[in-house]
Amino acid sequence: MSKISRFFKGGGSAASKGRGGPSPQEALARLRETEEMLSKKQEYLETRIERELAVARQHGTKNRRAALQALKRKKRYEKQLSQIDGTLSTIEFQREALENSHTNTEVLKNMGYAAQAMKKVHENMDLNKIDDLMQDITEQQDVAQEISDAISNRATFGDEFDEDELMAELEELEQEELNKGMRDVRLPSVPSTSLPSRPASTRRRAEDEDEMKKLAAWAS
């Protein structure tokens, strides 16, 4: 019985049979083992094909019978190699599909766990209580803001006075200071001696100017 026959007929483990079928991990492991076995078979057939081709070339026209037998064996090996190539493609496709199915199953399972966890968390939550809590938080934030504003404002402590009254009092004080300054100012005394008279040349010049004005008036 070949390895492939043993795999398909009696390869399943007792634990897998007892559970009614292999798990995805076990099936993937078996598929990878099969791929490895067929890959080794490929390498063996490729070696035999190269060997038979060398035998056919060696005999050539010298021993046509031996050359033909070698070529026939090469053809059989090539046919087996082609069949293994097709089988490997099928197994590879099946393995990839199983891997994707297993991944999807695990994803859905984890999503189900997450949904159950969220449901369990939300079981103890009441939307009405949440609304009341948010309102309380908003009110406390408003109170905290009012307290901050009150603390940050400048304290007056009785500084509320009439600005016009204060300005009038300030102007009175300024006027008093101005009057006091005017009283303290001392004017210079008038000299007791008489001012010197104008020199004769100055008087003569003034008389000449008067005469010129009279002549100009007469001429006009």
Chain-wide mean pLDDT for the chain? 79
Please identify which residue in the block is written with the tokens 């021993």.
63
pLDDT score recorded for residue 51: 92
pTM for the structure as a whole: 0.42
pLDDT score recorded for residue 10: 46
Residue 142: HSE in the Cβ half-sphere, 13 Å Cα cutoff: 6
Cβ distance 16 to 7 under 8 Å? no
Cβ distance 95 to 34 under 8 Å? no
pLDDT score recorded for residue 178: 82
pLDDT score recorded for residue 217: 67
pLDDT score recorded for residue 174: 79
pLDDT score recorded for residue 119: 86
Q: Which domains does the chain have, with CATH numbers?
A: 24-101 (1.10.287.1060)
pLDDT score recorded for residue 15: 46
Cβ distance 84 to 38 under 8 Å? yes
Least Cα distance to 48 among 14, 75, 19, 30 occurs for 75
pLDDT score recorded for residue 84: 93
pLDDT score recorded for residue 218: 63
| pLDDT, block means (10 residues), the chain with 220 residues | 48 50 86 93 94 88 86 93 93 91 89 89 80 88 87 63 77 81 65 57 71 67
Cβ distance 91 to 35 under 8 Å? yes
Q: Give burial (CB, 10 Å; 0-12/13-18/19+) of 180.
A: exposed
